[in-house]
Amino acid sequence: MDASLIISALKAKQFAPLYFLHGEESYYIDLITDALQANALEEHERDFNQTILYGKDADLLSLQSELKAYPMMAERRLVILKEAQDFKQLDALESYAEAPSPTTVFVICYKHKTFDARKKLLKHFAKNGTIYKSEKVRDYQLPEWIAKYVRSQGMQINGKATMLLAEFLGADLGRIANEIEKLRIVLGPNTGITEQHIEQHIGISKDYNVFELVNAVAQKQTDKVFKIVQYFEYNPKAGELLAIIPAFFKLFSQLMRVHFTPNKSREGIASSLGVHPFVAGELLANRQHYDPKKIAAIIALLHEYDLKAKGVGNSQMTDAELLKEMVFQILYS
């Protein structure tokens, strides 16, 4: 079931007695849990009817007691077991899940991994309640997720601003949502978010960041490359070497695949590589600068500098010096 459908039902005061929220992506688990806390009870009912336990600290007897307790001057009780992946006695809840209390809403938040679907516990939750599996948003899905989320907030965002957010914030959906909310408050609804807004209000430089460095190398814009490298030398937190090298690995691995993809249309590349069409267009335009032989040599070079950045075979050079040397070799060797 989609998270938005679950939340819509909660807002309509339609509650299941059981919710099992699990998976790699914490954002949706937190979103549904927040909606349950906001809607299951009125504010004045929560002191006596809402219990939140944490997996590491909870004990089975206390949890079972909370689940079987009757509501006090309210229609229902809400019991939430957070960080349930740390609760060692989950299987002991099978009997409760088989016949849950009709006056208790019991929520299990099992984060960072997927619960074993073969276990009886999950089968009882599926029969008598609601199960939500929160899938991780992959890197190639992130720009589309950002654009869709921005539209859901009544705003628009251009391609470059989308890629800047994706590259700088990574797949931390909670952080992305928080930053977009800041922009919505500052800029107001029906606004088109640009890279200038990102720089001004989030603090990501639109010109001097890892995304721009990788793009400049891809396009062989040498003046721009060394301006960014120099900026990183004086602002090391803006571009850490151990974050830059994986970004280059990603670029050159994708360029290699473009060379050997039969359908070299923008749509064909986007489908074959699993990337946003905007990225596919950039890769198609940049493949002319690097043939497969050159790309293979660069990937070997990146492996070498990855080891040096981690201190293997390097006792003297700073990260700034390593970056400058590595980029020079990519462009000119």
Amino acid at 73: M
Q: Is 12 helix (H, G, I), strand (E, B) or coil?
A: coil
Local structure of residue 130 (DSSP, 8 states): E
Q: Tell whether 224 and 130 lie within a shared domain.
A: no
Q: Tell whether 151 and 58 lie within a shared domain.
A: no
DSSP structure string for 26-64: HHHHHHHHHHHHHHSS-GGGHHHHEEEEETTT--HHHHH
Q: Tell whether 166 and 79 lie within a shared domain.
A: no
Q: Do 195 and 204 contact (CB within 8 A), yes or no?
A: no
Predicted confidence band at 315 (pLDDT cuts at 50, 70, 90)?
Answer: low
What pLDDT shows up at residue 262?
A: 93
* Domains: count for the chain: 3
- Planar angle of CA 42, 48, 51, nearest 5 degrees: 90
Question: How many Å separate Cα 13 from the centre of its chain?
Answer: 29
With 80 as the cut, is the pLDDT of residue 1 above it? Answer: no
Q: Tell whether 126 and 143 lie within a shared domain.
A: no
User: What is the rounded CA–CA span in Å between residue 271 and residue 261?
Assistant: 10
Q: Which domain holds residue 33?
A: 3-134
Residue pLDDT, tens place only, 181-230: 999 999 988 889 998 998 888 877 878 888 899 999 999 999 999 999 99
Q: Do 197 and 187 contact (CB within 8 A), yes or no?
A: yes
Residue pLDDT, tens place only, 30-68: 999 999 999 999 999 999 999 999 999 999 999 999 999
What pLDDT shows up at residue 305?
A: 93
Indicate which CATH number applies to the domain containing 95.
3.40.50.300
Q: Calculate what percentage of the chain has a pLDDT beyond 70.
A: 100
Predicted confidence band at 116 (pLDDT cuts at 50, 70, 90)?
Answer: very high
Number of Cβ within a 10 Å radius of residue 320 = 16
Locus of tokens 């088109």: 192
Final residue belonging to a domain, choices 185, 202, 219? 202
Q: Tell whether 82 and 145 lie within a shared domain.
A: no
Q: Tell whether 24 and 93 lie within a shared domain.
A: yes
Q: Is the pTM of this model over 0.85?
A: no
Q: Tell whether 98 and 151 lie within a shared domain.
A: no
Q: Select from 133, 88, 141, 137 the least CA-distant residue to 109.
A: 133
